[in-house]
Amino acid sequence: ADAEWPEIYRYRGELWLRTGELEKARKDYKKYLYYTGGDSRSWIHYAGALYLSEYYIDALKALAKVNEDLPPSLEPDCLRLKGYCLAEIGKWDSARETLAAFWELLPDQHLLARDYAYYGFVLILTGDQETGHALLAHAVAEKSEFADFYKRLSG
C-alpha cells in the first residue's frame, strides 16, 4: 500500500512541519522520497514544505538534492524556492543572482506577488533602489501583506 500512494507521507510530513515536529516530518519525508524514487519533483515538494515552515537552510539542502536531469518545467520552481530561501538567510547577492535567473524564465503573467516582493526586497538590499522599490510596490498593490517587507527594510 505504501508504494501505491506515497503522497500520504508527503501530506503527513507537511502536517508535522506545520506543527513544529521536524524529526517526525523528516521520517515521513524520507519514506515519501523513498517511494517516489527521490525524483526532482519530490525533492522540490520537500523543499517547499521546509520553506513554508521557515526551515530555510534545510530547504536549500533539499534543493541541492534535485537531480541534474531536472525537467525544464520544474526549473522555475527550484529557482524560486532557492531565491526565497537565500533571501531569508541574508545571502543577498546569491539571492539576487538566483531570482534574476528565475525572473528570466517566466513571463510576467506567471509571476506571483511574492516573487515581486522578494526580488524587489533583494534588489533594494543589493543597491538597485529604483527597480527594487518598483517591484516591491507592485507586490504590495497586489497583496497588502507584502508591506511587511518594507518593515524588514527599516528594522
Q: At what angle do helices 56-64 and 40-52 cross, to 10 degrees?
A: 170
How does pLDDT run across 52-76, given as a tens digit for each residue?
889 999 999 999 999 777 888 899 9
d(CA 101, CA 109): 17
Contact 146, 114 (CB under 8 A): yes
How does pLDDT run across 90-116, given as a tens digit for each residue?
999 999 999 999 999 998 889 999 999
pLDDT at residue 1 above 60? no
d(CA 32, CA 92): 32
Place of cell 515536529: 21
d(CA 37, CA 16): 22
